[in-house]
Amino acid sequence: MGLPQIRPFRKGNLRIGLTKIKLAMIKNIKKVFAIITLFSAYGAFAQQDPQYTQYMYNTLTVNSAYAGSLGHLAITGIYRTQWVGLEGAPNTQSFSLDTPVAKNVGLGISVVNEEIGPTDEQYLDANFSYTIKSGESHKLSFGIKGGGRVINIDWSKGSYKDPDVQFRENITNKFLPVVGAGLYWHGERDYVGISIPNFMTRERYTYDDISEDLVNQRIHLYLIGGIVFDLSAHTKFKPAVLVKYVAGAPLIADISANFMFNNALTLGVSYRTSDSVSGLVGIQITPMIMAGYAYDYTTTALQNYNSGTHEIMLRFELVSRKKGLKSPRFF
């Protein structure tokens, strides 16, 4: 019976083995970096309200004075899935309804569901507006809102950077009140608004490189504006902006430019500071129904770990044949 053969040592085999180990390490490091980057982004937005690329069609969520300003019933729904491909990334659904109910008076409701990491929040707000004339062509609306948030947190879905979090008691259906106000100056072709959606202190999930926790959210201040220009008989152009200020956080500005063709097709681009660039498209399917879609391309370090953000919008406006649809239909 012969002795077992011993394979000779080859430098090439060692080199191949080390290369495989190195590639595996790089792959794991990339995964860890992606997770750290994601939750660092959570930290940046943890104390901020949900954001939308098609904000010009979703004004009621940030400014209560918008309620009833269209002159007819309007219902808007938005579905937004952010940073597709990253587990625990923000996922938001928004529903709003507003209508005039009497001379100079408008009412509206806004419902939002948002999931981020281990948290699940539901928003429910009632909005009231009162409008006065501020000239021959413009009106000034005053708005107030009241409502609440319900927050749920399952700490088992957290990051575990902080080992104590695993033993923390979950939060179930915690209610937090909301009181907000806004001003909205508007005409047929332009608008400017300023608002604070919530004066009340409330808790939100936050994360950093050391731990995750609930913190008191700071007051948000919103400034919005837009104007419509006729470029030709069949083409309209609308630049718009939304600026969000939160004490202790970077100033965020959404700047967009939309073109409407034949009062039916809308195409546009948008830029969110230090976050993303976006493409927007909208189609007026019928005089009462409009559909919109936006795609955000991330410009931060997260761009290597997700396939972008998708946002779908559907809007229904109850207009009579006599009055017709407010034109232009940009806000």
> pLDDT band at residue 231, thresholds of 50, 70 and 90?
very high
Structure confidence at residue 292 (pLDDT): 97
pLDDT computed for residue 75 by the predictor:
97
Q: How far apart are CA 78 and CA 123, in angstroms?
A: 14
Mean model confidence pLDDT for the chain: 83
Rounded (10°) CA dihedral 298, 46, 225, 52: 50
Inform me whether the pLDDT recorded for 26 exceeds 70.
Answer: no
The pLDDT of residue 187: 93
Query: Residue 201 has what pLDDT?
Result: 67
More confident residue, 208 or 147: 147
305 has a pLDDT exceeding 70: yes
Residue 63: the pLDDT is: 97
Q: What are the strands, taking DSSP E only, across the chain? A: 73-81, 91-102, 105-116, 119-133, 139-153, 171-186, 190-196, 202-207, 212-217, 220-227, 229-230, 235-246, 252-261, 265-272, 276-284, 289-298, 309-318
157-213 pLDDT tens trace: 765 555 555 557 888 899 999 999 999 999 989 999 999 999 986 655 555 444 455
pLDDT the model gives residue 68: 95
What domains are there in the chain, each with its CATH number?
11-318 (2.40.160.40)
33-55 average pLDDT score: 60
- Residue 107 phi/psi, 5-degree rounding, is -130, 155
Tens-digit pLDDT profile for residues 60-110: 999 999 999 999 999 999 999 999 988 888 999 999 999 999 999 999 999
Q: 């681009």: which residue's tokens?
A: 269
Q: What pLDDT band is residue 32 in, cutting at 50, 70 and 90?
A: very low
Tell me, what DSSP letter sits at residue 168? S
How would residue 301 be classed by pLDDT, with cut points 50, 70 and 90?
Answer: confident
Residue 152: band (very low, low, confident or very high) from pLDDT cuts 50, 70, 90: very high
Residues linked to residue 192 through DSSP beta bridges, in sequence order: 185, 225
CB of 65 closer than 8 Å to CB of 224: no
Using the predicted structure, report yes or no on whether residue 322 has a pLDDT greater than 70: no
